[in-house]
Amino acid sequence: MIRILIDTQALIWFALDDASLSSSARSLILDPSNERSVSLASIWEMAIKIARGKLDLVSNLRGSTALNTFVNFLPANDIALLPIVAEDAIGVSDFPYYVDHKDPFDRLIAAQCLRHDLTLISVDQAFDRYGVRRAW
């Protein structure tokens, strides 16, 4: 059993059955022996991108309806929602600041992975600098 946290982009690709998700990442997510979770930071990130018109999860649904449908996908696929707590936010302060990687959601997700000893499913190599165990 591996305890995994699915990054925002990987989660979207998984939910939409997008070929961009690597076969090994898909296998890790589909393996029922693995403990799967998604950070609340990912839902927050998607909400902001939907509001700004940068993300369209389902072409015939808009705004909160699309995101609600997406969030309902999680328990239906045995994916837990990992809440954000103060310790996660405090963990971000331990990271060095990288000028080329300012994404606050990624930094929070990295802090959660380290605090909970999770393997991150992500294509984004920027996580490697934070000492996160990443699979793709």
- Of the chain, the percentage scoring pLDDT greater than 90 comes to 69
CB 35 within 8 A of CB 4: yes
- The model carries a pTM of 0.90
Indicate whether 59 pLDDT > 60.
no
DSSP labels for 78-127? TEEEE---HHHHHHHTTSPPBTTB--HHHHHHHHHHHHHT-EEE-S-GGG
State mean pLDDT over 92-98.
81
Report the distance separating Cα 8 and Cα 13, nearest Å.
Answer: 9
pLDDT digits over 64-82, tens only?
567 888 888 899 899 999 9
State mean pLDDT over 124-132.
94
Among 10-14, 39-43, 91-95, 125-129, the minimum mean pLDDT is found in 91-95
- For the chain, domain boundaries: 3-135
Among 12-26, 70-84, 88-102, 117-131, the minimum mean pLDDT is found in 88-102
Indicate whether 21 pLDDT > 90.
yes
Write down the pLDDT at residue 64.
58
Nearest 5 degrees, angle CA 112-CA 114-CA 116?
Answer: 65
Find, among 1, 27, 8, the residue nearest to 110 by Cα: 8
- Give the class (CATH, top level) of 3-135: alpha beta
pLDDT digits over 44-54, tens only?
999 999 889 88
